[in-house]
Chains A and B, each alone.
Chain A
Amino acid sequence: MCVTCGCGGDNNHAHEHSHSHHSGDHHHEHTHVINLEAEILAENNQFAAQNRAFFKDKKSLALNFVSSPGSGKTTLLEETIKRLSGQHPIYVVEGDQHTELDANRIRSAGAEAYQIQTGKACHLDGHMVGHALEHLNIVDDSFVFIENVGNLICPALFDLGEQAKVVLISITEGEDKPLKYPDMFFGADLVIITKLDLLPYLKFDLAACEANIHKISPRGKIIQLSSTTGAGFDEWIKWLHAAKNYLS
Chain B
Amino acid sequence: MHEFSLCEGIVKQVSRANAGVLDNVSQIKIEIGKLSGVDLESLIFWFPVVAEKLACRQIQLEVNEIDGLALCSKCNQQFTLTNLYDACPHCQSYAEYQILQGRELLVKSFSLIN
A residues bordering B, Cβ < 8 Å?
Answer: 4-6, 16, 29-44, 121-123, 125, 153-154, 156-158, 178-179, 182-183, 186, 212, 214-218
Which residue of A is nearest B37, CB measured?
A: A183
A30 and B113 in contact (CB under 8 A), knowing A182-B83, A186-B84? yes
Nearest 7 A/B pairs, CB to CB: A154-B2, A183-B37, A30-B114, A182-B84, A218-B95, A38-B13, A215-B94
A-B contact list, 13 entries, CB within 8 Å: A31-B27, A32-B111, A33-B109, A33-B112, A34-B110, A36-B14, A36-B17, A123-B5, A157-B6, A214-B94, A215-B95, A216-B84, A216-B95
Q: Is the CB of A39 within 8 A of B106?
A: yes
Indicate with 1 or 0, residue by residue over B84-114, a CB within 8 angstroms of chain A CB atoms.
1101000000111000000001111111111
B residues bordering A, Cβ < 8 Å?
Answer: 1-2, 5-6, 9-10, 12-14, 16-19, 26-27, 30, 36-38, 83-85, 87, 94-96, 105-114
Nearest CB in chain A: distance from B92 CB, A? 11
Chain B residues contacting A40 (CB-CB under 8 Å) are 6, 9-10, 13, 30, 105-107
Cα–Cα, bound, A7→B107 (Å) = 18
Q: Is the CB of A32 within 8 A of B37?
A: no
Chain B residues contacting A212 (CB-CB under 8 Å) are 85
Chain A residues contacting B84 (CB-CB under 8 Å) are 182-183, 186, 216
